[in-house]
Chain A
Amino acid sequence: MTGYVAPRSVEEVVDILTSNPSAVVCGGGTMVMPRLSSQELNADLVVDLANVLELRRIGRDEDGTLRVGAAVNYRQLIVDPNVTDVLRGMARGITGGPQIQGQGTVGGSASYGNPASDLPGVLVALGASMVTEGPTGRRVVTASDWFLDAFVTPVTGQPVLLREILIPPREGDRFGYRKLKVAESSWPIVTASARIHYSEATDKSAGSVTIAAAAPTPFTIQLGSADPTRADLQSAIETVAPSWIDDEIASGSYRAKVAAEIARRAISAARTEAENP
């Protein structure tokens, strides 16, 4: 038998997870519910976050840090005026239509660590930090240290809840996000999140691009200029030598061939898009 609770506070959720090792957290439901239905996942208790209102807030600190509650959904990212353009653009383009925009949550995606999700690479490129709450208290982990392996994050199998995601102010940096997928209903094959920084001192732009969905965890390459060629990007990616995902959507060698081009498009978007302040 599987029970159900919908607690109202983060502390209650942590207490329940601590005393029920086989409880499962349900954020939006887009990841957990199919796994429960297929019995790939069995749980004694479903802990629904729908009533933890503090997890559904978006706010901005005085220093410009954007605070995104773990149960914020993609629709909120699209409509909230505090949200940066690259996050808004990513949220507009997720697979699954308006239903999933209203149902999928940023905390669910980050906690589950599906390499094919749109969110992980964007969080790494934005320099986000993840705030968790567990039996031993609060912890802050940078996004680049968060995604440990495919489907493995610091909350996996732990009585720990991702509470919120902190996104530091942009300080004039420009961002661009592009992805490749084979069909509207498909997961991405490769995503690229570019970040370009212009330095007045040197009158030069430099930056980085984070590539995800192509390897078990996102990886970042540094750019020597804001206008690298595809060959430049290809050799930078080869230096990282990622372990490419080889699955039914695309082979590892295909991902290795297309990653540089998607990275180039993301950089181009970061450089040119007018809506990207």
Chain B
Amino acid sequence: MSDQLKTTFELNGVTTTVVSEGHVPLADTLRHLACAVRLGCRNGDCGTCTVLLENQPVKSCLVPTGRAAGLRVTTLDGLAKGDELHPVQQSFWENNGFQCGFCLAGHVLCAVALLRDNPDPSAEQVDDFLRGNLCRCTGYEQIRVSVLAATHASGPADSPPALAEGQTLTSEVSSTPTK
């Protein structure tokens, strides 16, 4: 059995193949591919590494890279269409939904997932859906405002390709950084 694991998945619409060790979390693999994925706690607590796996929000520090094989992965990079922000991104921008920005990708991707399944959530439903994401700047109020303001503007979570269709990325993740 080879210890080098080859995993092919669809990253923001682009077929991507990575080589890694079996214990490397998807979060590290995506960072190696220069995606807008941040790592906070590496423990499933903070939510900043959230990505969409088959349109469901997951904390990518908890996902072994091999599990992504054959699946669609959406990161923050996959939301905007060129210079045009995704409606949820635009709403966070307009409503001061972030300060330092460290938690932003996780909050935006969770909000995208929420609005896809529930286009008109109550404030309580927004709070409930975002409770897996920690923010230490905003006090959450403007995040809630941003999601509620995006309610009627949000498009589908289907993300446009970040690179040209059919283009293949290949990368190698050799080690896992530790805490």
Chain A contacts to B: CB under 8 angstroms:
1-6, 26, 28-30, 33-34, 36-39, 43, 45-46, 48, 50, 96-100, 102-103, 184-185
Contacts and interface: CB of A to CB of B under 8 A. Distances in A.
Contact of B132 (A33, A36, A48, A97): A97
29 contacts: A2-B22, A3-B1, A4-B5, A5-B1, A28-B62, A29-B63, A33-B44, A33-B61, A33-B64, A34-B43, A36-B176, A37-B23, A37-B178, A38-B179, A45-B22, A46-B22, A48-B64, A48-B66, A97-B110, A98-B57, A98-B113, A99-B44, A99-B50, A99-B58, A99-B110, A100-B59, A102-B58, A103-B59, A103-B63
A13 B161 CA distance: 37
B64 A34 contact: no
Contacts of B64: 4, 26, 29, 33, 46, 48
B131 interface: yes
A185 to B, nearest CB: 6
Contact of A100 (B22, B42, B44): B44
B13 to A, nearest CB: 22
Contacts of A28: 62
A33 B62 contact: yes
Given A4-B5, A6-B66, A103-B63, 15 more contacts: A4-B21, A4-B64, A6-B67, A29-B64, A36-B23, A37-B42, A45-B22, A50-B67, A96-B45, A97-B130, A99-B59, A100-B44, A102-B58, A103-B59, A103-B62
Nearest to B69: A6
A131 B132 CA distance: 31
Contacts of A29: 62-64, 67
Enumerate the 4 nearest inter-chain pairs by beta-carbon distance, A residue then B residue, closest first: A97-B132, A4-B22, A1-B3, A29-B62
Contacts of B67: 6, 29, 48, 50
A99 B21 contact: no
Residue in A5, A37, A96 whose Cβ sees the most chain B Cβ within 10 Å: A37
B30 to A, nearest CB: 14
Interface of B: 1-5, 21-23, 25, 42-45, 47, 50, 56-59, 61-67, 69, 110, 113-114, 129-134, 176, 178-179
A102 B178 CA distance: 25
Contacts of B45: 96, 185
Nearest to A186: B45
Contacts of B4: 1
B25 A96 contact: no
A48 B23 CA distance: 10
Contacts of A97: 47, 110, 129-133
A99 B179 contact: no
Nearest to A38: B179
Nearest to B1: A3
Contacts of B43: 34
Contacts of B2: 3
B58 A37 contact: no
Contacts of A39: 178
B19 to A, nearest CB: 11
Nearest to B46: A185
Contacts of B21: 1-4
Contacts of A102: 56-58
Contacts of B56: 102
B1 A30 contact: no
Contacts of B58: 99, 102-103
B23 to A, nearest CB: 4
Contacts of B134: 185
B4 to A, nearest CB: 8
